[in-house]
């Protein structure tokens, strides 16, 4: 009986050790992003919850919902659509190389909105929605409620408005819904694309805003970046980490390379249990933003 009990204890210790090894210590994960969430694509649990329920501006991460609403509507993707001038001023810098009045297929408007974060494309996808622009924004908010994104609100289709807000936890739900649409995964991870417009005829080259889509070692199957002064640098992504597909949501990062650095830190933490350090300037930015959020409550 004593030998049997010893065997049982050994088995239990081995099982506990395996569980502990599979769950890295959260205190050893250091991120520049002010809010973050990480979750296996195949499960619901959050492996990382850094203020994941804090409501913050999400900038061009908005365009993921824009793509979902376009595809849900079942509109013909090969239809040629004219780029219409804005019916009201953009809430932030909306520079574009695309000419007003020129035409592009809906499919390629969607592609440019996702891979290159083209604001004029995202705007015009909404303008050509049945019922018009306001109906499109209403559909975005309806879709958010359908997905259980209770802390999410949209006021435009591009993310240029800081009033487009969500949480890292809500965006995990959005990414899961987006991954059910193969076209979103395909377009969001395409490296380069040449758009051929008509009336008048001209071509423009576009590139992906996430450098990690060009690195095979990351196995990126979904990607979207975002930036506004109010939102900081943002990244949502599905990539291979420690042998499985993982959703990474990084919001309000300091510096253009900070989200990429944080993605690397998450991957390193999952593989080794230690993320490595964060630069001092990023830590100071995080402290300043956390103070601002605390005062706003």
- Tokens for 259, please give them: 């989200």
Question: Does residue 72 lie within any of the structural domains?
Answer: yes
Is 122:113 a contact under the CB 8 Å cutoff? yes
Question: Does residue 267 lie within any of the structural domains?
Answer: yes
The pLDDT of 240-253, averaged and rounded, is 95
Check residue 23 and give its pLDDT.
64
What's the N-to-C CA distance of the chain in angstroms?
Answer: 60
Check residue 130 and give its pLDDT.
97
Check residue 19 and give its pLDDT.
36
For residue 222, the domain's CATH number is 3.40.710.10
Tally of domains in the chain: 1
Whether the predicted pLDDT of 288 surpasses 90? yes
Bridge partners (DSSP) of residue 237 are 223, 248
Check residue 13 and give its pLDDT.
37
Hey, CA dihedral for 232, 128, 107, 239, is it positive or negative? positive
Question: Does residue 152 lie within any of the structural domains?
Answer: yes
- Tell me the helices (H) and strands (E) count for the chain, helix number first: 9, 11
Catalytic pick among 33, 39, 50, 63: 63
Averaged pLDDT of the chain = 92
20 pLDDT band, cuts 50/70/90, is: very low
18 included as an active-site residue: no
Catalytic pick among 39, 60, 161, 239: 60
Q: From 54, 59, 24, 23, select the one nearest 36 (Cα to Cα).
A: 54
224 included as an active-site residue: no
Question: Does residue 1 lie within any of the structural domains?
Answer: no
pTM for the full predicted model: 0.91
18 pLDDT band, cuts 50/70/90, is: very low
The pLDDT of 174-200, averaged and rounded, is 97
The pLDDT of 245-267, averaged and rounded, is 94
* Euclidean distance between CA atoms 113 and 285, whole angstroms: 29
* Euclidean distance between CA atoms 287 and 73, whole angstroms: 42
Q: From 188, 134, 189, 140, select the one nearest 166 (Cα to Cα).
A: 140
Check residue 256 and give its pLDDT.
85
Question: Does residue 13 lie within any of the structural domains?
Answer: no
The pLDDT of 211-235, averaged and rounded, is 96
Whether the predicted pLDDT of 10 surpasses 50? no
Most confident of 25-34, 148-157, 278-287: 148-157
Whether the predicted pLDDT of 7 surpasses 90? no
Which range marks the domain in which residue 130 is found? 25-296
188 included as an active-site residue: no
Question: Does residue 290 lie within any of the structural domains?
Answer: yes
182: Cβ–Cβ under 8 A, 6 or more apart, which residues? none
Question: Does residue 7 lie within any of the structural domains?
Answer: no
Question: Does residue 252 lie within any of the structural domains?
Answer: yes
Catalytic pick among 33, 117, 188, 239: 117
């Amino acid at each position: 009986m004593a030998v049997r009990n010893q065997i049982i204890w050994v088995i239990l210790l081995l099982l506990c050790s395996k569980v502990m090894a599979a769950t890295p210590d959260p205190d050893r994960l250091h991120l520049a992003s002010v809010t973050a969430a990480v979750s296996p694509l195949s499960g619901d649990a959050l492996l990382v919850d850094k203020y994941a329920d804090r409501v913050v501006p999400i900038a061009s991460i908005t365009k993921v919902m824009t793509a979902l609403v376009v595809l849900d509507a079942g509109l013909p993707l090969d239809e040629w659509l004219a780029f219409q001038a804005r019916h009201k001023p953009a809430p932030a810098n909306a520079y574009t190389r695309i000419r007003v009045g020129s035409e592009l297929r809906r499919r390629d408007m969607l592609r440019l909105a996702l891979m290159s974060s083209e604001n004029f494309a995202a705007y015009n996808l909404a303008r050509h929605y049945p019922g018009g622009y306001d109906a499109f924004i209403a559909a975005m908010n309806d879709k958010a409620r359908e997905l259980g994104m209770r802390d999410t609100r949209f006021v435009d289709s591009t993310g240029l408005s800081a009033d487009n807000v969500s949480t890292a936890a809500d965006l995990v739900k959005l990414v899961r819904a987006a991954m059910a649409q193969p076209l979103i995964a395909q377009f969001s991870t395409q490296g380069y694309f040449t758009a051929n417009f008509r009336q008048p005829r001209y071509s423009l080259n576009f590139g992906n805003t996430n450098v990690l889509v060009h690195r095979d070692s990351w196995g990126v199957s979904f990607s979207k970046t975002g930036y506004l002064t109010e939102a900081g640098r943002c990244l949502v992504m599905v990539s291979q980490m420690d042998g499985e597909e993982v959703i990474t949501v990084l919001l309000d990062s300091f510096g253009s390379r900070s989200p990429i650095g944080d993605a690397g830190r998450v991957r390193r933490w999952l593989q080794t249990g230690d993320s490595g350090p964060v630069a001092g300037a990023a830590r100071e930015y995080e402290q300043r933003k956390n103070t601002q959020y605390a005062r706003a409550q």
